[in-house]
Amino acid sequence: MMNPQMVMYEEELAQLQATTDKLLRDSRSQTILLVDKNGQMIVTSGGSTDLDTTSLSSLVAGNVAATGGIAQVIREDEFTGQFHEGKDISVHMTLVARRIILVVLFGKETTHGLVRLRVRKAIGELTSVFEALERKAAEQSPQQNVFAEITDDDIDNLFND
Amino acid sequence: MSFINYSAREINCKLVYYGPGLCGKTTNLQFIYTKTKEDAKGKMISLATETERTLFFDFLPLNLGSIRGFKTRFHLYTVPGQVFYDASRKLILKGVDGVCFVADSQEERMEANLESLDNLRYNLQEQGYDLDQLPYVIQYNKRDLPNAMPIPELSAALNPNKVPEYEAAAVDGTGVFETLKALAKQVLNELRKGTT
């Protein structure tokens, strides 16, 4: 398979959360999301509770996939950044480690320039966490994985409603 | 590509409904959405044209409950069935964990079924997947229509490897959950197998 399974552990999640929380403050933005290219949300910072992050993550991934498709058609390697300008809220998206999308939602309290600057700084930190995560997942022995112990009954029970 | 979050104790998997135009992929998701309890589903998103044909994808997040203390979440996607949206279909297959091929049982759609199935296999290959290695089920939809072909004929043409197959009439929900459950089970089994 081209895409290895993605795993997330407590230690790395805490590091990612700390980085995005700092980015949220430094860039004076409203919400930050880390989403994998398949639309799975990994981390969120800030944001109101009524923000539908699941839908947002799926749409962001679709958007990045579509732009990636455009890049292929015009023989560009990849568009690493995207910007959507809104009346009240704008969205800045950047690719991290080629498989993660950093999404920053910001309003009038800040500027696109500041967001871009702070994002650039945060990307280095995020990239090293994701690289460490990949190494860790590759080293993990199968026995450590809890899913090896799933029984048929466990699976059947999921559907008994 | 499932996403296992040990920190949040969650498993996330991606299921894709594939098939020719107007075979009922979106109808499958709509039925699942209407019959699922509020706390077990997220918002259903449909990126469709003004005439309600799928333009990019439909998306429905489902929470199936816990397994060994891990919340299992399934993200259901449909692809646009119309032939000329092939570039979009390829994108949606990225990171797929399981595929449901929705066939249109009507005789006049047989060629479209075969073309779509070939297209599925080809597009998966392009992404580095082999359909024969993936969790995969087939649904024969529109069984309620008078011109539906007999199952043995459909099966012989579309299911040479005898993967699990289900009859359905997605418009009234017949067979919809059976198909979903069978696919979800295969995906979870694969997760288990992959670790042993």
Query: Is A7 touching B (CB cutoff 8 A)?
Result: yes
Query: Is A140 touching B (CB cutoff 8 A)?
Result: no
Output helix, strand, coil percentages for chain A, rounded to the nearest 5. 50, 20, 30
Q: What is the C-alpha separation between B104 and B99, in angstroms, rounded?
A: 16
pTM of the model: 0.90
What residues in A contact B191, CB-CB < 8 Å? 147, 150
Judged against a pLDDT cut of 50, whether residue B106 lies above it is answered with: yes
What residues in A contact B67, CB-CB < 8 Å? 150, 154-155, 157-158
The residue among B37, B72, B91 with the most chain A CBs within 10 A of its CB, best to mutate, is B91
Residue B147 phi, psi (nearest 5): -95, 20
Helix or strand (DSSP H, E) at B72: strand B70-78
Q: Which one of B57, B181, B194 has the shortest CB-CB distance to A159?
A: B181
Q: Which residue in chain A is spatially nearest to B1 when comparing CA positions?
A: A5
Q: What pLDDT is attached to residue A145?
A: 66
What residues in A contact B7, CB-CB < 8 Å? 8-10, 13-14
Query: Is A3 touching B (CB cutoff 8 A)?
Result: yes
The alpha carbon of residue A75 is apart from the nearest alpha carbon of chain B, in Å, by: 15
Tokens 């590759």 label which residue?
A138
Q: What pLDDT is attached to residue B61?
A: 96
What residues in A contact B8, CB-CB < 8 Å? 8, 13
**A2 confidence band (pLDDT: 50, 70, 90):** very low
Burial class (CB in 10 A: 0-12, 13-18, 19+), B66: middle
Instruction: Write out pLDDT tens, residues A20-62.
Output: 999 999 999 999 999 999 898 999 999 877 899 999 999 999 9
Structure tokens at B62: 């489902």
Instruction: Write out pLDDT tens, residues A69-107.
Output: 899 899 998 898 999 999 999 999 999 998 899 999 999
Query: Using CB atoms and an 8 Å cut-off, which of residues 111-170 of chain B contact chain A?
Result: 127-129
Judged against a pLDDT cut of 60, whether residue A142 lies above it is answered with: no
Looking at this predicted complex, what is its ipTM? 0.82
Q: What pLDDT is attached to residue A129?
A: 95
Average pLDDT over chain B, rounded to an integer: 94
Tell me how many residue pairs between chain A and chain B have CB atoms under 8 A apart: 132
User: Residue A123 region, left (φ>0) first, then alpha (ψ -120 to 50), else beta?
Assistant: alpha
Query: Is A113 touching B (CB cutoff 8 A)?
Result: no
Query: Using CB atoms and an 8 Å cut-off, which of residues 9-68 of chain A contact chain B?
Result: 9-10, 13-14, 36-40, 42, 52, 54-55, 58-59, 62, 65-66, 68
Query: Using CB atoms and an 8 Å cut-off, which of residues 97-116 of chain B contact chain A?
Result: none
Output helix, strand, coil percentages for chain B, rounded to the nearest 5. 40, 30, 30
Instruction: Write out pLDDT tens, residues B109-153.
Output: 999 999 999 999 999 999 999 999 999 999 999 999 999 999 999
- CA B159 to chain centroid, in Å, comes to 15
The alpha carbon of residue B149 is apart from the nearest alpha carbon of chain A, in Å, by: 31
Query: Is B33 touching A (CB cutoff 8 A)?
Result: no
**How big is chain B by its Cα radius of gyration, in Å?**
16
What residues in A contact B47, CB-CB < 8 Å? 62
